[in-house]
């Protein structure tokens, strides 16, 4: 096993996190107590992954009160709204910010708002660590014999406050000799698979190959994939699931090839206000993420681009949804 790493921690008055835009070629840590820098880090994907975004935003709220504030209520909602509008799809962001808002309103008259808010942010972080542990434990149910697994995007420490969701299931299964091999989709356009999941697989000592997103069908047709497991950014009440663009492709391929397709995510990702995936707001990203790699043009700048960050997988294509509470089987009803 290779050395582990810390993707995110609160240390010496600062939030410290790996700049994921630099991985895997450089391990650069950002240290800040500036909520605006935290908001920009979320927008620029220096930090990403639905659970991690929620944890980071909670710390952003707390750190905004590190220095004395004359009008706490006005300042809180200024910071709250700035963080709220960073990314629209990942429900964990709104869940964590709402928890911080309720806590603030219950303690608004305190003379020690910073430390109170900081402890609440730490509690959200600890809660995510515990959820990751339980997701990994519940996820072991999908293994009866050693499997070859395909995964998409990144769902490890780089996406959460703890060990991960789908990736942590894979890691814990590997530690129990239940993983033979992992195929990691590169995950265009931002290459979270080839940059981030590969980085975490290497750190964990798990044997793997990076593949292009369009290679999955070939592997399935050759019967080289036993199961597919991914994370989620938002899950509707009926089990429809929004995840990184390309996830729906995999679910359709799995359905055709009769391969089980699983989702692993904390229960905070389930949005019971939505009846189906049709109601999930899908973030659209800048065309630069398609036409450029590392700032270098790879096609003409004047070409128009359609670049949704996520797609929605219908619940009927999902074999099971693994949360920290249970291994949920169809039919899904999270109301």
pLDDT digits (tens, 9 = 90+) for 277-332: 999 999 999 999 999 998 999 999 999 999 999 999 999 999 999 999 999 999 99
Burial class of residue 294 in the structure, from the number of CB atoms within 10 Å of its CB (0-12 exposed, 13-18 middle, 19+ buried): exposed
CA dist 107 and 72 (Å) reads 11
CATH number of the domain at 257, please. Answer: 3.40.50.10470
Beta-bridged to residue 184, according to DSSP, are 151, 210
CA dist 59 and 57 (Å) reads 5
State whether 316 and 185 are in the same domain.
yes
Q: In the annotation, is 4 catalytic? A: no
φ and ψ at residue 325, rounded to 5 degrees: -90, -35
209 contacts: CB under 8 Å, gap ≥ 6: 181, 182, 183, 184
State whether 54 and 144 are in the same domain.
no
**Of 88, 116, 133, which one is at a domain's C-terminal end?**
133
CA dist 91 and 101 (Å) reads 15
CATH number of the domain at 35, please. Answer: 1.20.120.420
333 occurs within a structural domain: no
Can you give the pLDDT at residue 16? 98
State whether 113 and 165 are in the same domain.
no
Picking from 28-32, 64-68, 258-262, which range would have the lowest pLDDT averaged per residue? 64-68
Angle at which helices 91-106 and 113-139 cross, to 10°: 140
46 occurs within a structural domain: yes
Instruction: Count CB neighbours of 136 within 10 A.
Output: 25
Residue 238 sits in which domain range? Answer: 135-328
Over 50: is that where the pLDDT of 64 sits?
yes
CA dist 287 and 291 (Å) reads 6
Question: pLDDT tens-digit profile of 112-129?
Answer: 999 999 999 999 999 999
Query: Considering the chain, what is the average pLDDT of its residues?
Result: 96
Question: pLDDT tens-digit profile of 205-245?
Answer: 999 999 999 999 999 999 999 999 999 999 999 999 999 99
Over 50: is that where the pLDDT of 271 sits?
yes
State whether 126 and 213 are in the same domain.
no
**Of 89, 108, 133, which one is at a domain's C-terminal end?**
133
Question: pLDDT tens-digit profile of 72-85?
Answer: 999 999 999 999 99
218 occurs within a structural domain: yes
Over 80: is that where the pLDDT of 1 sits?
no
Can you give the pLDDT at residue 294? 86
**Of 78, 110, 133, which one is at a domain's C-terminal end?**
133
Beta-bridged to residue 16, according to DSSP, are 9, 31
State whether 193 and 96 are in the same domain.
no
Question: pLDDT tens-digit profile of 188-210?
Answer: 999 999 999 999 999 999 999 99
Can you give the pLDDT at residue 3? 57
Options 185, 226, 233, 311, the catalytic residue: 233
State whether 141 and 19 are in the same domain.
no
Sheet with strand 270-271: strands edge to edge: 270-271, 234-236, 241-244, 310-313
State whether 257 and 122 are in the same domain.
no
Can you give the pLDDT at residue 5? 87
Looking at the 3D structure of the chain, how many domains does it have? 2
Sheet with strand 29-32: strands edge to edge: 8-11, 14-18, 29-32
State whether 82 and 105 are in the same domain.
yes
CA dist 319 and 322 (Å) reads 10
CA dist 266 and 115 (Å) reads 27
The residue ranges of DSSP E strands in the chain, in sequence order, are 8-11, 14-18, 29-32, 147-151, 179-185, 208-211, 227-230, 234-236, 241-244, 261-264, 270-271, 292-293, 296-297, 310-313, 320-322, 327-328
246 contacts: CB under 8 Å, gap ≥ 6: 152, 153, 185, 187, 188, 213, 311
Please check whether residue 199 is in contact with residue 27, taking contact to mean a CB–CB distance below 8 angstroms. Answer: no
């Amino acid at each position: 096993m290779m050395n582990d790493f810390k993707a995110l921690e609160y240390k010496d008055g600062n939030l410290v996190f790996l700049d994921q835009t630099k991985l895997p070629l450089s391990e650069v840590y950002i240290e800040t107590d500036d909520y605006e820098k935290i908001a920009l880090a979320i927008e620029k994907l220096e930090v990403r992954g639905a659970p991690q975004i929620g944890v980071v935003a909670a710390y952003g709220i707390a750190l905004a009160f590190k220095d004395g504030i004359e009008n706490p209520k006005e300042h809180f909602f200024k910071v709250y709204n700035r963080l709220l509008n960073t990314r629209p799809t990942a429900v964990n962001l709104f869940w964590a910010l709402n928890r911080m808002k309720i806590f603030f309103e219950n303690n608004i008259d305190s003379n020690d708002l910073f430390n109170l808010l900081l402890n609440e942010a730490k509690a959200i972080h600890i809660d995510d660590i515990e959820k990751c542990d339980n997701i990994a434990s519940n996820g072991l149910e999908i293994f009866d014999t050693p499997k070859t697994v395909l995964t998409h995007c990144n769902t490890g420490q780089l996406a959460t406050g703890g060990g991960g969701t789908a990736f942590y299931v894979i890691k814990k299964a590997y530690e129990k000799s239940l993983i033979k091999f992992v195929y990691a989709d590169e995950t265009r356009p931002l290459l979270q698979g080839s940059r981030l999941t590969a980085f975490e697989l290497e750190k964990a000592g798990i044997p793997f190959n990076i593949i292009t997103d369009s290679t999955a069908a070939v592997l399935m047709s050759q019967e080289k994939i036993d199961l597919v497991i991914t994370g989620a950014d938002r899950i509707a009440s009926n089990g429809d699931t929004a995840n990184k663009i390309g996830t729906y492709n995999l679910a359709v391929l799995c359905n055709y090839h009769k391969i089980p397709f699983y989702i692993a995510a904390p229960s905070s990702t389930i949005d019971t206000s939505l009846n189906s995936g049709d109601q999930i707001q899908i973030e659209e990203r800048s065309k630069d993420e398609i036409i450029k790699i590392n700032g270098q043009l790879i096609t003409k700048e004047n070409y128009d681009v359609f670049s949704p960050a996520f797609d929605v997988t219908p619940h009927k294509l999902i074999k099971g949804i693994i949360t920290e509470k249970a291994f949920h089987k169809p039919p899904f009803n999270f109301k």
